[in-house]
Amino acid sequence: MKLIETPSPNFDERPQGLPIDMLVLHYTGMTSMEAALQRLCDPAAKVSAHYLIGEDGEIYRLVLEEKRAWHAGLSAWRGQGDVNARSVGIELVNPGHEFGYRSFPGAQMDALIGLSKQILSSHPIAPRNVVGHADVAPTRKQDPGELFDWRLLAKEGVGLWPWTFSPGQAVHAIPRLSHYGYDISDPDAAVQAFQRHFRPEKCDGIADAQCAGLLDALLKLVQE
Ligand SMILES: [Zn+2]
């Protein structure tokens, strides 16, 4: 896999003895690839990721996986904070909801799938721990958002997808979100993050029977 080395100064050491057990996907949310690359390498910005993938599928390596990149910020998953300490972070070039959100091109998705497979083969990352930034920071973030094709990733063995499900009981959706991994301190935000990932057709933040059923299916998959 061809990597374009573009070292960023924005990293520190991972805590010793903590495995890398999460993969976090982002969009850049900026008007151009160049602007994003510049920001991710700017010491004053104090942000980075391990990799940046252009819409043309070019992969830039900014931080070595053994180092702690600064991509997730204040975040939590399955009751654990400091997602940066235990994750690899990938930024996908996309203007995002603020500057003209659009689909992620095939070349970009292909590069992401190849890179993700390589990352999953070198770290103990469970399928449910392949998440979006919004999944781990639902009140602050929307990325990579409802146009991101999580289904395609799961088909390729990257992350989890509830292929079959039947409607569940809406009243159970919120506690199940928490069981699956979401921080539900703001339940509406958590539901919307879940929808952007698993029910992108309707992201209204309302925990309905379909959301509950999807969560039941996911929880069943992780128990098996
Ligand atoms: Zn992000």
pTM of the complete model beyond 0.95 = yes
What is the average per-residue pLDDT within 149-157?
A: 98
Q: What residues pair up with 53 in beta bridges, in sequence order?
A: 59, 92
- CATH number for the domain that contains residue 202: 1.10.101.10
Quickly state the pLDDT bin for 184 (edges 50, 70, 90): very high
Q: How far is the CA of 168 from the centre of ligand 1 (A)?
A: 31
Q: In this structure, are residues 172 and 191 in contact, taking their beta carbons and an 8 Å threshold?
A: no
Write the pLDDT tens digit of every residue in 59-85.
999 999 999 999 999 999 999 999 999
Q: Which residue has the tokens 């057709």?
A: 201
Q: Are residues 153 and 170 in the same domain?
A: no
Q: How far is the CA of 48 from the centre of ligand 1 (A)?
A: 10
Residue at a domain's end among 135, 160, 185: 160
User: What pLDDT does 10 receive?
Assistant: 98
Q: Are residues 137 and 171 in the same domain?
A: no
User: What pLDDT does 121 receive?
Assistant: 98
User: Residue 188 to residues 104, 146, 174, 193, 210: CA-CA distances in angstroms?
Assistant: 26, 16, 9, 9, 15
Question: Number of folded domains in the chain?
Answer: 2
**Mean pLDDT, the chain, as a whole number?**
97
Q: Is 91 among the residues known to form the active site?
A: yes
Who's near 103: CB < 8 A, 6+ residues apart? 147
pLDDT at 39 over 90: yes
User: What pLDDT does 222 receive?
Assistant: 95
Q: How far is the CA of 28 from the centre of ligand 1 (A)?
A: 7
What is the average per-residue pLDDT within 206-223?
A: 96
- The residue from 91, 98, 146, 201 that is catalytic is 91
Residue 199 belongs to domain spanning: 162-224
Residue at a domain's end among 132, 160, 188: 160
User: What pLDDT does 44 receive?
Assistant: 98
User: What pLDDT does 224 receive?
Assistant: 64
Quickly state the pLDDT bin for 110 (edges 50, 70, 90): very high
Quickly state the pLDDT bin for 43 (edges 50, 70, 90): very high
Q: Are residues 148 and 169 in the same domain?
A: no
Residue at a domain's end among 110, 144, 160: 160
CA distance 217 to 160: 10
Q: Are residues 144 and 207 in the same domain?
A: no
Q: Are residues 201 and 98 in the same domain?
A: no
User: What pLDDT does 221 receive?
Assistant: 96
Beta strand residue intervals within the chain, DSSP E: 3-5, 11-13, 22-27, 51-53, 59-61, 67-69, 87-92, 130-132
Q: What residues pair up with 67 in beta bridges, in sequence order?
A: 13
Nearest alpha carbon to residue 143 among 77, 177, 98? 98
Q: How far is the CA of 72 from the centre of ligand 1 (A)?
A: 6
What type of residue sits at position 155? K
Using omega within 30 degrees of 0 as the cis cutoff, is the peptide bond preceding 7 cis?
Answer: no
Q: Are residues 117 and 219 in the same domain?
A: no
- CATH number for the domain that contains residue 53: 3.40.80.10
What is the average per-residue pLDDT within 110-123?
A: 98
CA distance 160 to 126: 9
Query: Can you give 54-69 as a three-state secondary structure string?
Result: CCCCCEEECCCCCEEE
